[in-house]
Structure 1
Amino acid sequence: MSSNAGPTHDAKPPRPSAIAGYEDWPAYVQQHPRYQAHSAEAQELADALGVPDVPQPPEASVHWEETYDGVTTSQLSWQLGYGPRSTGWLIRPAGVPGPLPGVLALHCHSGNKFGGADRLVELPASHPLAANARPGYDGRALASEIARQGFVVLAHDTFAWGSRRFDLSVPPWRTGSALEARQAQWREDGVVPSEAEVYNAAAGFHEETVAKTAGLLGTSLAGMVAHDDLAALEVLAGLPDVDPDRLGSIGFSGGGGRSLALAVLSPRIKSYVVTCMMTTFQSLLPAHLDAHSWLLQTPGLWKLDEWPALTARSGADQLLVQYALGDELFPEDGMRAAHRMLGSLHNPGNGSPAAYIGSFWPGGHLFTAEMQQEALAFLSSSLGARDTQPLSPLSCQGPS
């Protein structure tokens, strides 16, 4: 007896995961309630971003530690409830007794998701990540510089960056098609891309898939990033040599947006810095909208408030915003409108001390050495740090 099953066809390869490395992400969001903020105003932002609750501070493990150039640097990691382990870098002044004020240093977007917080840290030449470039930071290791001024600093990889990046070794089909086109262009141009360049190209295309997944789950890219940042803040606040009542945050570009969101969501933040990440949403239309990623452009956020107005929802005592007049990502009129709005919100003009400081600098989308000096001086003054090493002398004409 014979059977005729008809003609056979080559089986299609299985469709790859669109969220490889994060298959447990949907269940995590579904099983955790919304983050409960400290005020009704902050809760509105938590709800708009869809920030999941951070159930308890994660337990950090120390993998590497070394003292050099006046600071002790430790490589930490912790496991959140979803995705790969988070890497964090803890930098503190060597031999200086605590408790010391703490700062969460928040890395930028920069289109570089292959790396994360390592771009903020100075590492000895023997470390595998020592040669990592620091585009946008004027060649300086921001987190290490802050620690030299008397702070305990934690810089961590957030959701989708560095140790927390998605696995795109077998990219989802839509991402893979776009990546093939980019690789064809590289071949035509005679370019041999590095592993990081290939990953960052794929991750740039994949960000839309991440944003779509987040939207389906009732959260957002910014909401998941804020979740990771809140968890890292709890790690920092729980360290024995950190004063939990003197905590601040700082960030450049996308890190500046993270700094603002964190200051609204957590009452632990007393002072914060936003560098090259301030304008009005109105000014982004129509020409500057495509200059920014999903990290800024959460659907519906503008309906809640203008970007600078969100700062009024924070309980922080002081805020420094640094603007670059030649910033190609923001129109000057939008930055100046944000500056006026922030002044009216935070500086009463009745003899009370100003809570907001805004400075305008020449140049493009960069966190220059001079701007970093201003930011470190602001954090030292507002959080009461004891300088342990003087800042490097620089020629600077000051903000314009």
Structure 2
Amino acid sequence: MPSDPPTARDGAAAPSDPAGGPRRLRHLGEFSALAGIAAAQRGLFPRPGPGLRERARDALGVLDLTAADVRTERTWTAGALRGEEVSWDVGFGPRTRAYVLRPREAGGAVLPGVLALHCHAGMKWAGKEKIADGPEGHSPEVAGLRAALYGGRAWAGELALRGFTVLVPDALGWGSRRVPLADMPENVRGRPEPGLGEAGRYDAAAARHEHVLAKYCTVLGTSYAGVVAGEDLAAAAYLRARPDTGPVGCAGLSGGGLRAALLGAFDPDTAAVAVVAMVSSYRDLLDGYVAGHTWMLYPPGLSRLCDLPDLVACAAPRPLLVWYGEHDAILPLSGMRRAHTMITAHYRQAQADYTGVFADAGHEFGLAAQERVFGWLARYVRADGGGPWR
């Protein structure tokens, strides 16, 4: 069961802290002294001053994108849900496709909105389908992922049933925004492997191609995080503009949690932000945790402005919930504790509402976490000043 988080001092030395302690870091080995030299010479992880949001937005190269030429592709009903697939053009690549989910009986009532952000999870063939069902249902691969990460539930649809307009868009590299194999370098797309289906082949190639995307983004003066954040900002603006939707919050697990954190940092119109199993200090990630994450987590230059929890706390004064899994295999507990302490300090200074939940859980958004987040969103994201539609 969730519990009150343990305490830790901001700036306390940790095995991965470049400021002190044993310097042999996993995955750097004999080169571990690089961390201390870089920290001393480049001034890493400083306490941020005023204007962090603007400086971080510039460092990430967040693009100003618009969901243009919105089209309704199809509609359906499934049980108590009404679904709509919409698409839009952000100016490059194939059209973004997204699901809009609402309670079937809501009609045209104005509901609070939530931008539900799909995870990374090494699965890029599917995007929105990982957390929401279209009219065709879901694939066996998606069923396996949901069982491992989401308690077997398509959580975006379940959230919609609680009285929300839920928008679930694909992001660059996933689903409708996949990079065709033919456009990848030959050594990246690889050769067909026996028994590996179309989805599996794409996921294997996309994992290698993410390095290529990150390089292009850097050369173009942006970052993978900056492009995806630009897409999510456009999606949030579209959702707020719908006549059936009021204030809009956001939520996501892992890579989706990072997307939620970035949206909260850069979009002052986001009503509330829920980040699940994603937040740690960069300092603690250095000890063997860097390799397990997407390039979206490592925009060049950000660590010279702040540590990651400082950026997450830029959501203030909007309400923020961060869910920490105490047994998360790809995030260190020391880093989560440090993050919680840092965010608490920022929110206390802003006199704003921050909820940090430490749970006996791993890297997942299970049913207990979902219920906690759903209730929290119902409290902080309200249509017309009242509670959620029932």
Per the normalisation by structure 1, the TM-score is 0.79
Could you say what secondary structure the match of 2:288 adopts? coil
Q: What's 1:98 paired with?
A: 109
C-alpha contact (below 8 Å) 1:42/1:314 kept by paired residues: no
Alignment counterpart, residue 120 of structure 1, candidates 112, 131, 141: 131
- 1:216-231 matches, within 5 Å, as 216-231=219-234
Distance 1:148 1:53 in 2: 32
Match of 1:17 in 2: none
In structure 2, the residue matched to 1:209 is 212
Deviates more, 1:114-123 or 1:193-202: 114-123
User: Is 1:347–2:343 an aligned residue pair?
Assistant: no
Distance 1:42 1:254, change over 3 A: same
State the distance in 2 between where 1:100 and 1:41 align. 33
Q: Deviations over 1:152-208 (max 9, x none)?
A: 1100001111101111146303314xx34xx6xx65xxxx11111100000101111
CA deviations 1:85-120 (Å, max 9, x no partner) are 100000112222422111100111111111111111
Partner of residue 141, structure 1: 154
Give the corresponding residue for 2:257: 256
CA distance in 1, matches of 2:310, 2:365: 23
Amino acid of the residue matched to residue 382 of structure 1?
Answer: Y
Pick aligned residue for 1:175 from 165, 188, 194: 188
The one-letter code matched in structure 1 to 2:353 is A
Paired residue secondary structure (1:326): coil
Distance in 1 between residues matched to 2:292 and 2:239, nearest whole Å: 33
CA RMSD of aligned residues (A): 2.0
Whole-angstrom CA distance in 2 between matches of 1:48 and 1:66: 42
Work out whether residues 66 and 73 of structure 1, in 8 Å CA contact, stay in contact via their aligned partners in 2. Answer: yes
Q: How many residues align?
A: 333
User: What code does the residue aligned with 1:252 have?
Assistant: L
Deviation of the 1:59 alpha carbon? 2.8
Matched residue, 1:81: 91
SS at match of 1:309: helix
The letter of the residue matching 1:216 is V
Give the counterpart of 2:68 among 58, 62, 65: 58
The residue type equivalent to 2:62 in the other structure is V
Instruction: Give 3-state SS (helix, strand or coil) of 2:322's partner.
Output: strand
Equivalent residue number for residue 281 of structure 2: 280
Q: Residue 9 of structure 1 corresponds to which residue in structure 2? A: none
- d(CA) in 1 for partners of 2:138 and 2:70? 20
- Per the TM alignment, residue 241 of structure 1 is displaced from its structure 2 partner at its CA by 0.7
Letter in 2 for 1:146: L
- Return the offset for 1:122: 2.7
User: 2:322 corresponds to which letter in structure 1?
Assistant: V
142, 159, 164: which one aligns with 2:172 = 159
Structure 2 SS opposite 1:359: strand
How many Å separate the matches in 2 of 1:344 and 1:79? 40
> Does 2:389 correspond to 1:376?
no
SS of residue in 1 equivalent to 2:105? coil
Identity %: 36
Sort the Cα spacing of 1:123 and 1:163 in 2 relative to 1 into closer, same or farther, 3 A: closer
SS of residue matched to 1:291: coil
Q: TM-score, normalised to structure 2's length?
A: 0.81
Query: How many angstroms does 1:61 deviate by?
Result: 0.9
Q: Which has the higher contact order (CA 8 A, sep 6+)?
A: 2
The amino acid of 1:331's aligned partner reads: P
2:318 — aligned with what? 317
8 A contact 2:285–2:331 mirrored in 1: yes
**Letter paired with 2:153:** R
Q: Aligned partner of 2:96: which letter?
A: S
Q: Which residue of 2 aligns with 1:197?
A: 200
| Higher helix content, 1 or 2 | 2
CA distance in 1, matches of 2:210, 2:237: 27
- Range with bigger deviation, 128-137 or 292-301: 128-137
Task: Tell me the distance in 1 between the aligned counterparts of 2:342 and 2:80.
Answer: 41
Equivalent residue number for residue 47 of structure 2: none
